[in-house]
Amino acid sequence: MTLQVRKTAVLGAGVMGAQIAAHLANAGVPVVLFDLTAKDGDPSGVAKKAIENLKKLSPPPAAMKDRFGYIEAANYDEHLAKLRECDLVIEAIAERMDWKLDLYERLVPYIAPNVAIASNTSGLSIEEMGKALPENLRTRFCGVHFFNPPRYMALIELIPVAATDPKLVDDLESFLTTTLGKGVVRAFDTPNFIANRVGVFSLLAVMHHTQDLNLTIDEADAVTGPLIGRATSATFRTCDVVGLDTMAHVIKTMNDRLPDDPWHKYYEVPAYVTALIQRGSIGQKSGAGLYRREGKEIKVLDVATRDYVPSRAKAAPDVEAILKLREPAEKFAQLRSSTHPQAQLVWRSFRDLFHYSAYHLGSIADNARDLDLGVRWGFGWREGPFETWQSAGWKATADAIKAHVGAGNAMAQAPLPDWVFDGRAGVHTPSGSYSVRAAAIKPRRKLPVYLRQRFPEPVFGESPPMGKTVFESDAARFWTTTESGNCDVAILSLKSKAGTLGPHVVDAIVDAVERAEAGYSGLVIWQPKPPFSAGADLNAFMGFVAENDFDGLERFIARFQRMTARLKYSLVPVVAAINGPALGGGCEIAMHCARVVAALESPIGLVEASVGLLPAGGGLKEFAVRAARSAQATTMNDPLMFLTGAFQAISGGRPAANALEAKAAGFLRESDTVVFNPSEVVHVAEAAARSLHETGYRPPLPPQDVKVGGRSGIATLEHSLANMREGGMISGHDYRVGKAVATGLCGGEVETGTLVSEDWLLTVERKMFVELGRTENTQARIKNLLETGKPLRN
């Protein structure tokens, strides 16, 4: 039978267990969250307190506060019978094998035969845990390793063992991929699996070379973060974020379970880190670790004195110049030859990481792709170890590593495997990635769930599918997929930077609608890389200002409005497929499409007020129309009841932080779809367009009788602005912008309850936009944003 996950149980309401429960709740999956029985008060008080603590975490583990309603608190003494209702049980208690085995023995009488049981362990033996289960349940057991924080980290390692039913593993991988939106990598049952094994070794290598080269902690972080494609937390800050105690536990697992590893002597926590742990300074969660904030100042640990000193280190200019070179082979050649300690830190750390990854590939991962994606998704790296090595020139780098190993300069003297030197140009090819165990190139898995990923995240050396171009200009590409049966829905991708919407892009969208109407079932607007659209092209706006051509600006806004209307009234359904920010005009495009399919972590909203403007592509008009329709279903028939929340968000320039919030705020409709895996957005959007077409899609009629709030509505909304201005919360220009937004939402200076047309509302928007565009304060805001990338409040 196929695993159908209707309800889940999470055992252990600690940091990871509670957050796993929260992400299941994000996906609309009911969860029973278990923990020990409280000594006093409510027996389920421990789990209930954990749920309350989730509400205080930042970043928030729940996409919406209502998600907590999906989580039920429970305790082991009273509620184990609830396990019979659950299809998936995830154990996430502390990393103690004896505790886990004891708990499994308690669970056995309450586990249904078709349930999936998984341990969220970061590196303990799955095989040993499974021995605590009866033979009939061992086939239902595997490891499933979430990364912290579970909502935001893409990676889940799935660890089956010999007894695990292969069908169960496939079903669980499908659930984790689509329902929870994760990148799943199958790992072998080896210590710390793939990502922690390689990622923590990389941290240890940087720590070792930092000390060996007599560099400071913040110097190391300055050159091992974004400059080399790593997270902004770089190396030592990453340790603080993970928790020094957690990192120490992972390192101890490697030390205890890998005694014959050539790098075993490095599986030790540095003495200065041990000292921090002993005094309770375990990183970000304790307020201090390798770094500590004192007021507004960030201080860093001085390893020699064990005191905190101001953190001011930067990458040396000549080293930064090397790291910014576009050609990887040249970059690594210069790093190898440079005598600067920072350059040597980067080279030596990569050298030993490459050496380690190649030596262990066959024992920890099925193929090089799984290793690279695992480390990328688990640690936030731009490239995995093999991708970096291959892009830097496989043979030249391998020869350099071999020479360093031979000279005794590398961290370990184990030789590179023979397969490294078999004439290959790397481990990743268009047809797959190298597997040591199979001694062959292995393609990606062909599970049905991956057919939903038209464009899976590629690794270096793969050739991502490009589709069939029908028409292309400097502004946009109109194309279809090449898969049989899917060419009836056209796709439009914008080519402007960040999907900005200048005159040529606006014309390209109108042209795409006409092409779609002439021969396709529907049109999907989708960007291969985020964002969906950052909104209007502000450089184009400043061009009108420079020419003092405000009549031309108004004509362009009218042109923009005709474009969004063209989307709304297209004869074929237009679907916006959003992965990443859809802001300002990008949000207005989405609001005018027949449907929106949005990835969960997509900020969506009308943010024009932050630069002193208002939405004028029909965004305010759409809110006014929707409010009037909603009001008709109430006894008061007052559209203002449905505009207050929208007014606060739009006048404050605040987007919804994610797609679920965007639904609640009205930027998306209830009929729009939120998907959790961004790689599935275009597939679901195509299916939505096709479904609409097959059910006889017809566009709506333009409304002619929209009841508006008028002067009374404007005054009511303006009152809240006056209070904020008097309280010093907004400036005088913020007030002016806010009143313009209120005017647009309420249909202009007309009598309350007046019935107006869609064209009337668009005219009000256009007029307000141009009036604000003429002001010096708005022009100053836009100029500052273009020059500095930062907002200006004036």
What is the rounded distance in angstroms from the CA atom of residue 426 to the CA atom of residue 520? 41
Q: What is the pLDDT of residue 1?
A: 78
502 CB contacts (<8 Å, ≥6 apart)? 475, 496, 536, 537, 539, 540
Nearest C-alpha neighbor of 421 from the set 402, 438, 404: 402
- 59 class by beta-carbon count within 10 Å (0-12 exposed, 13-18 middle, 19+ buried): exposed
Strands 291-294 and 297-301: antiparallel
Is the separation of the CB atoms in 465 and 455 below 8 Å? yes
Is the separation of the CB atoms in 369 and 444 below 8 Å? yes
Is the separation of the CB atoms in 610 and 791 below 8 Å? yes
The DSSP string of 450-481 is: GGG-SSPPP-TT------EEEEE-SSEEEEE-
Tokens of 22: 């929260």
Nearest C-alpha neighbor of 544 from the set 536, 558, 554: 554
426: left (phi over 0), alpha (psi -120 to 50) or beta: left
Q: CA Rg, the chain, in Å?
A: 29
State the DSSP code for 577: E
* Dihedral sign, Cα of residue 510, residue 511, residue 514, residue 520: negative
246 CB contacts (<8 Å, ≥6 apart)? none
* Low-confidence spans in the chain with pLDDT less than 70: none
Q: What is the pLDDT of residue 748?
A: 96
633 CB contacts (<8 Å, ≥6 apart)? none
Domains present along the chain, CATH in parentheses: 8-186 (3.40.50.720), 195-441 (1.10.1040.50), 471-607+655-699 (3.90.226.10)
The whole-model pTM stands at 0.94
What is the rounded distance in angstroms from the CA atom of residue 598 to the CA atom of residue 623? 19
The DSSP string of 180-246 is: S--EEEEB-SSTTTTHHHHHHHHHHHHHHHHHHTT--HHHHHHHSSGGGT--TTTTHHHHHHH-HHH
Nearest C-alpha neighbor of 500 from the set 617, 657, 618: 617
φ, ψ of residue 548 in degrees (nearest 5): 55, 35
What is the rounded distance in angstroms from the CA atom of residue 354 to the CA atom of residue 300? 29
Is the separation of the CB atoms in 235 and 278 below 8 Å? no
What is the rounded distance in angstroms from the CA atom of residue 254 to the CA atom of residue 691? 52
Tokens of 771: 């009036």
Using the CB atoms, write b or e for 128-153: b if 16+ within 10 Å.
ebbebbeeebbbbbbbbbbbbbbbeb
Q: Which residue has the tokens 């973060």?
A: 225
Q: What is the pLDDT of residue 464?
A: 80
Q: What is the pLDDT of residue 483?
A: 81
Tokens of 496: 């402007």
Beta-ladder partners of 72? 32
- 635 class by beta-carbon count within 10 Å (0-12 exposed, 13-18 middle, 19+ buried): exposed
What is the rounded distance in angstroms from the CA atom of residue 417 to the CA atom of residue 259? 20
pLDDT tens figures, 84-129: 999 999 999 999 999 999 999 999 999 988 999 999 998 899 999 9
Nearest C-alpha neighbor of 123 from the set 259, 250, 275, 289: 250
How many other C-beta atoms are found inside a 10 Å radius of the C-beta of residue 105? 11
- Identify the three-state secondary structure at position 322: helix
φ, ψ of residue 52 in degrees (nearest 5): -65, -40
Nearest C-alpha neighbor of 186 from the set 161, 220, 223, 150: 161
What is the rounded distance in angstroms from the CA atom of residue 776 to the CA atom of residue 764? 21
What is the rounded distance in angstroms from the CA atom of residue 328 to the CA atom of residue 405? 22
What is the rounded distance in angstroms from the CA atom of residue 703 to the CA atom of residue 762? 12
- 68 class by beta-carbon count within 10 Å (0-12 exposed, 13-18 middle, 19+ buried): middle
What is the rounded distance in angstroms from the CA atom of residue 782 to the CA atom of residue 778? 6
CA 791 and chain centroid, separation: 24
